[in-house]
């Protein structure tokens, strides 16, 4: 079972890495870029198991390790489908 | 126009960050994780323009700055649709 996780900074949280990329793109002559936000992307390969159990486990992984939920939010996809 | 870019290590390229996350998850008691790969995720807000021009510009950004194409591949989505 394949899971994809996106961890992104919450709106309103300053994103210096995104700002640096934005600046670098402008320096390379790419006009028309209005904003850049950088996040993390993870692909997890899970042993076959119950989908509900996998969802719960992935949510726990995000809460405990993968995302800093004070400033970051996360989105989970399991086999290509978004998990609420 | 919103673009989403995923930059991931090519298959076969060692991913020490993914390995570290895998190890940490195991240490926290998450069994059943077989593999973890970490990538980068970028959200770009582009000024309104021609879609074809935006696609071409995004591809150039990836080639020139966002991805190290020797070891990384990239995938571009524009307004939620994958760009070939």
* Domain residue spans of chain B: 2-83
Chain A residues touching B46 at Cβ < 8 A? 32-34
Please tell me the distance in Å from A43's CA to the nearest CA on chain B. 5
Q: What is the pLDDT of residue B80?
A: 87
Interface test with A, best of B35, B42, B50 (most A CBs within 10 A): B42
CATH architecture of A2-83: 2-Layer Sandwich (3.30)
A84 pLDDT higher than 80: no
Interface test with A, best of B3, B13, B35, B36 (most A CBs within 10 A): B36
| Band (A16; pLDDT cuts 50, 70, 90) | very high
Q: What is the pLDDT of residue B53?
A: 92
pLDDT (average), residues A44-69: 94
- Work out how many CB contacts closer than 8 A connect A with B: 96
A25: three-class secondary structure by DSSP? helix
Q: What is the pLDDT of residue B84?
A: 72
Q: What is the pLDDT of residue A83?
A: 87
Q: Look at A37 and B34 and tell me if their CB atoms are within 8 Å.
A: no
C-alpha radius of gyration, chain B, whole number: 16
Chain B residues touching A38 at Cβ < 8 A? 40-43
Q: What is the pLDDT of residue A12?
A: 93
Residues of chain B with pLDDT under 50: none
Q: What is the pLDDT of residue B43?
A: 97
Q: What is the pLDDT of residue A73?
A: 96
Please tell me the distance in Å from B50's CA to the nearest CA on chain A. 11
Q: What is the pLDDT of residue A49?
A: 82
Please tell me the distance in Å from B84's CA to the nearest CA on chain A. 18
Please enumerate in sequence order all residues whose Cβ is within 8 A of that of B3, keeping only pairs 6 or more positions apart, or say none: B43, B44, B46, B54, B58, B76, B77, B78, B79
User: If residue A20 lies in a helix (H) or strand (E), which one and from where to where?
Assistant: helix A16-27
More confident position, A83 or A7: A7
Separation of alpha carbons A27 and A69, rounded Å? 33
pLDDT (average), residues A23-34: 95
Q: What is the pLDDT of residue A80?
A: 87
């Amino acid at each position: 079972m394949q899971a994809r996780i996106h961890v992104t900074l919450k709106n309103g949280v300053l994103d210096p890495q995104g700002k640096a990329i934005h600046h670098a793109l402008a320096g390379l002559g790419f006009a028309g870029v209005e904003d850049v936000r950088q996040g993390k992307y993870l692909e997890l390969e899970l042993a076959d198991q119950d989908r509900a159990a996998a969802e719960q486990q992935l949510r726990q992984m995000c809460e405990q390790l993968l995302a800093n939920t004070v400033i970051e939010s996360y989105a989970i996809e399991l086999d290509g489908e978004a998990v609420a």
